[in-house]
Amino acid sequence: DDDEDFDLFGSDDDGSEAEEIRAKIVADYKARKAQKGPLPAAKTTVVYHVKPWDIDTDLDELETKIRAIQMDGLVWGQVAKRTPVAFGIRHLEIYNVVEDEKVSVDDIVELIEGFEDHVQSVDIALMSKV
């Protein structure tokens, strides 16, 4: 009978002291987190390969139309390249930086593909977190 009353780990108390310590640690953590403020927005750099219908497509005009796509959280890069594909056709390589919470890359692709008279297809060549 004496063996049943013997506690090897000494946990005779009701745990209120442990709860107080835990509550203090949680409160300290929340206070430190609140002082830091909001995290910076997650951003992604995206490079698009925009393929024109034919050799006669004006890539300068197409670039102007693409850059006219504006939305909150979208910033177009300053440089766009004309890269040879085949048979004298060049595709437009253009990039932007998007805030992940505000802008969908799929929406941008759909908007670019909306220029049906100029654009055959759009590929995402590269995506990288900033």
Residue 26 dihedral angles phi and psi, to the nearest 5°: -65, -40
One pLDDT digit (tens) per residue for the chain, 130 residues: 555 666 566 655 556 788 888 889 998 888 887 777 777 789 999 999 999 999 999 999 999 999 999 999 999 999 999 999 988 899 999 999 999 999 999 999 999 999 999 999 999 999 999 8
Location of structure tokens 């390969």: 49
Handedness of CA 63, 64, 65, 70 (dihedral sign): positive
Longest dimension (CA), the chain: 98
pTM > 0.85: no
Q: Which residue has the tokens 């437009």?
A: 92
